[in-house]
Amino acid sequence: MSQAAVSLVLGDKWRGRVSEATAERVREAARRLDYRPNLAARNLRLGRTRTVLLVVPALTTEFFAGVYTGAARVAADHGFGVVLYPSPEGIGPARDPFASAQAALDGVLASSMAADALTAIRGDRLPLVMLDSDPHGSLGAATVNLDIADGTRQVADHLLGLGHRHFLHVAADIPSWTFDVRARELAARVRAVPGTTLRTTRTPMTIEGALAAAETALDTPGPHPTAVVCDDDKLAAGVYKALRRRGLRVPDDVSVTGVDDIALATALDPELTTLRLDAERFGEHGMHALLAVLEGRTPEQGDIPVHLVVRGSTGAPRPS
Amino acid sequence: MSQAAVSLVLGDKWRGRVSEATAERVREAARRLDYRPNLAARNLRLGRTRTVLLVVPALTTEFFAGVYTGAARVAADHGFGVVLYPSPEGIGPARDPFASAQAALDGVLASSMAADALTAIRGDRLPLVMLDSDPHGSLGAATVNLDIADGTRQVADHLLGLGHRHFLHVAADIPSWTFDVRARELAARVRAVPGTTLRTTRTPMTIEGALAAAETALDTPGPHPTAVVCDDDKLAAGVYKALRRRGLRVPDDVSVTGVDDIALATALDPELTTLRLDAERFGEHGMHALLAVLEGRTPEQGDIPVHLVVRGSTGAPRPS
DNA sequence: ACGGTCTAGTTATACGTAAAACCTCGTGGG
DNA sequence: CCCACGAGGTTTTACGTATAACTAGACCGT
């Protein structure tokens, strides 16, 4: 029973090379010794690791947790593992560029919101698929996107249809292609209707940040917004608090919308009208695309549709 | 310039073995060729990978995301990477036990809530540290715990001190040492006071689940609870909704408490009185313990303190 | 009977790194 | 003058796996 025979049997490549009797002897011995293959050696030999890196801005968001879950599920189905690289803010400055991602990698799946971290790990020399980033500007890498432009139009049309004309956009202060698209698309849609106003305020992506930003915006002179469009459900929660402090009721006085549809959206009172992003599906698509690239195929094109979930936080504006 | 010299210089072990001039030549060449070491080969040679596995029940909870963040930060500080293994529910049945954790591992940090997954990956033969599990029953592995028993007493004493006598415990239906401790400690504390009642309802850890469970419990005949103790902030959100539907106000009619202090807690109206668990610190402690085990040291003992954050959801019961 | 083919193996090699063991000078002390 | 020694290198080996290349019989048709 040579080492080669063992390798063949355990690698399930023994048909016609090893007799059934010997194969069984090998399996029995492996069982008895509780043998485990040395992954490092296998990786070295094969020159690939079946491990990919997922780069996300921060994990403490339900959204990216969902992206991870979807990506990891697809990866597991194809015998791949997923290593996570949350951006430096969460982890601390990457001291040694190598230390952060100890695992040898086959490819990288990266959110555009963590683009700076990308160059730090030098994922740029590995097969790369970008999540949520400019299809025309991403280093030539394949891109998987949510159809956020369409989603933004759905939000705008919903509110315009209800009769709203004065908008406040509570925007995330993170530089990112996605948020740029949202701002642009919202402005385009709103301004297409005569007599509308659109104000924008930027805030860190926390409830407290949005609370402060919304209060400032509400105190600013000018036409009072009857609809507040938030870049994120969490921001909407902050807006709820700001409105409550001003004695304004949702949706009677002001309508509010979010983006993501995380658990928080239905915890709010009234439940939040929000743009549902299917985070897991996003992660799945991204991983499928990366696996395609790794196999030399070209990944499927096409943005992932998103849709508006209308709940209790939006209604017709008070006739003024 | 031999390969050995290169290895010495790049491994920063060249003092007295290689001249400064040669060292510089090596570094220059490495830079020019954009050399990256092959991690698989290094892992094979050294027999260790500087990679550990974190096993958590699901990532879509802010709490475990925090645990990961803390653990990953400490790991990175020590040149370690962290691979994640969310439990099968999130990922799908682990087909090949090896496939799930492709990376070769040095150790495992595992939440007790995913104990079954542990044997699947056979982390049991690697250095192991358990998070939140019975110190006396965990395979002899080191254990890092939050002082959840003390925390539960803080919650109970707070409510008892306000005058509450009739309690509803909205408990997670996940079998776990932590949740058992909570139930036991709560019951002990409440029953120590004469004239009290304590009812318990179990629910999946979702807002909808808690909503349904709370509604059922509220409709059950018997003394009406004036205080609802939830195993989790998300469950508390469901309880808020149930109370709202019954026309009961928080905290005037019913007080509510949670556990975790995630963002959701301050998004609720009124803000939730909750037991703050410092998830990141928990992850940091766990990783420190695991690193200690890996170095042959014995990890520090002692539970991590938790403390009650009193907000607007608790108050004195209505005099009846 | 003999070359060819098939079966069931074994032997040998490569992957890239770290580090032990070995080599070769030049220098300083006795 | 010779030897020990240290500085500065180089050669060699080992890690565990996958697989290409080789080998030894057994069997088959002509």
A/B interface, count of CB pairs below 8 Å: 187
Structure confidence at residue B135 as a pLDDT band (50, 70, 90): confident
B44 in contact with nucleic chain D (CB within 7 A): yes
Among B102, B266, B291, the strongest candidate for a mutation testing the A interface, having the largest count of A CBs within 10 A, is B102
What pLDDT was estimated at residue B97? Answer: 40
Q: Are strands B273-276 and B307-309 parallel, antiparallel or unpaired?
A: antiparallel
B61 — pLDDT class (breaks 50, 70, 90): confident
Q: Higher model confidence: residue B124 or residue A88?
A: B124
B134 phi and psi angles, rounded to 5 deg: -60, 115
Instruction: Find, among A105, A100, A97, A141, the residue nearest to A122 by Cα.
Output: A97
- Asked if A206's CB is within 8 angstroms of B263's CB, the reply is yes
Question: Would the CB atoms of A73 and B80 count as touching at under 8 Å?
Answer: no
- Asked if strand C contacts A45 at the CB level, meaning under 7 A, the answer is yes
> Which residues in chain B are closer than 8 Å to A86, comparing Cβ atoms?
68-69, 72
Instruction: Report chain D positions within 7 A of protein CB atoms.
Output: 7-12, 14-21
Report the pLDDT value the prediction gives residue A122, as an integer from 0 to 100: 58
If contacts are CB pairs under 8 Å, which of residues 93-132 in chain B contact chain A?
A: 94-96, 98-104, 122, 125
Kindly tell me if the per-residue pLDDT of B103 is higher than 70. no
Q: How far is CA B33 from CA A47, A164, A313, B22, B28, in A?
A: 19, 60, 58, 16, 9
Confidence of residue B180 (pLDDT cuts 50, 70, 90): very high
With cut-offs at 50, 70 and 90, classify the pLDDT of residue B91.
very low
Q: What is the pLDDT of residue B138?
A: 62
Q: Any atom of strand C under 7 A from CB of B1?
A: no
pLDDT attached to residue A91: 44
Q: Specify the pLDDT at position A226.
A: 97
State the pLDDT confidence band at B123, using cuts at 50, 70 and 90: low
**H or E segment and range at residue A317:** none
Closest among A221, A28, A207, A210 to B271, alpha carbons compared? A207
Q: Is the pLDDT of residue B175 over 80?
A: yes
Coil/strand/helix, residue B230: strand
Please check the confidence at residue B113 and state whether its pLDDT lies above 90. Answer: no
Model confidence at B57, in pLDDT bands (50, 70, 90)? confident
Interface check B59 vs A, CB under 8 A: yes
Residue A266 in contact with partner chain B when CB distance is under 8 A: yes
Helix, strand, coil percentages (3-state) for chain B, rounded to 5, are 45, 20, 35
pLDDT computed for residue B117 by the predictor? 63
Beta carbon of B19 within 7 Å of strand D?
yes
Tens place of pLDDT per residue across chain A (320 aa): 889 999 999 999 988 889 999 999 999 999 999 888 999 999 999 999 998 888 887 666 889 888 988 998 899 888 888 888 765 454 444 444 444 455 678 998 988 766 666 665 655 578 889 999 888 876 678 899 999 999 999 999 999 999 999 999 999 998 889 999 999 999 999 999 999 999 999 999 999 999 999 999 999 998 999 999 999 999 999 999 999 999 999 999 999 999 999 999 999 999 999 999 999 999 999 999 999 999 989 999 899 999 999 999 999 998 86
Beta bridge mates, B169: B200, B229
> Are the C-beta atoms of A251 and A283 separated by less than 8 Å?
no
Under an 8 A CB cutoff, do A267 and B240 touch? Answer: yes
Residue B60 has a pLDDT of 65
CB within 8 Å: A102 and B268: no
Nucleotide lying nearest to B23, CA to C1' measure: D8
| Average pLDDT of the residues in B171-195 | 95
Exposed, middle or buried, A203 (CB in 10 Å: 0-12/13-18/19+)? buried
Give the tens place of pLDDT for each residue, A73-114: 899 888 888 888 765 454 444 444 444 455 678 998 988 766
pLDDT surpassing 80 at residue B114? no
Question: Does a cis peptide bond (omega within 30 degrees of 0) precede residue A88?
Answer: no
Chain B residues 43-82, Cβ below 7 A from strand C: 44-46
Q: Which residues of B touch A39 (CB under 8 A)?
A: 98, 102-104
Distance CA A278, CA A132 (A): 13
Q: What is the mean pLDDT of residues B196-209?
A: 96
Q: Give the mean pLDDT of B9-21.
A: 89
**Residue A20 carries which side chain, given as an amino acid letter?**
E
Give the pLDDT confidence score for residue B90 in this predicted structure: 45
Over residues B91-108, the mean pLDDT reads 58
C1’ C9 / CA B183, Å: 63
The whole-number pLDDT of residue A212 equals: 97
B297 pLDDT band, cuts 50/70/90, is very high
Query: Cβ A79–B68 below 8 Å, yes or no?
Result: no
Q: What is the pLDDT of residue B139?
A: 67
Structural domains in chain B?
3-37 (no CATH), 49-145+280-294 (3.40.50.2300), 148-277 (3.40.50.2300)
Q: What is the maximum alpha-carbon separation in chain A?
A: 89
| Window 224-283 of chain A: CB closer than 7 A to strand C | none
- What's the one-letter identity of residue A272? L
Per mean pLDDT, which range of A230-244, A303-317, B11-25, B91-105 is the poorest?
B91-105
Does the beta-carbon distance from B77 to A92 stay under 8 Å? Answer: yes
Q: How many residues does chain A have?
A: 320
Q: Which helix (H) or strand (E) covers residue B87, if one does?
A: none
Chain C nucleotides with an atom closer than 7 Å to a protein C-beta: 7-12, 14-21
Answer for the pair B102, A105: CB distance below 8 angstroms, yes or no.
no
- Whether A151 contacts A161, CB under 8 Å: no
pLDDT at A94: 45
DSSP string for A229-264: EESSHHHHHHHHHHHHHTTPPTTTT-EEEEEE--HH
Cα(A239)–Cα(A316) distance, rounded to whole angstroms?
18
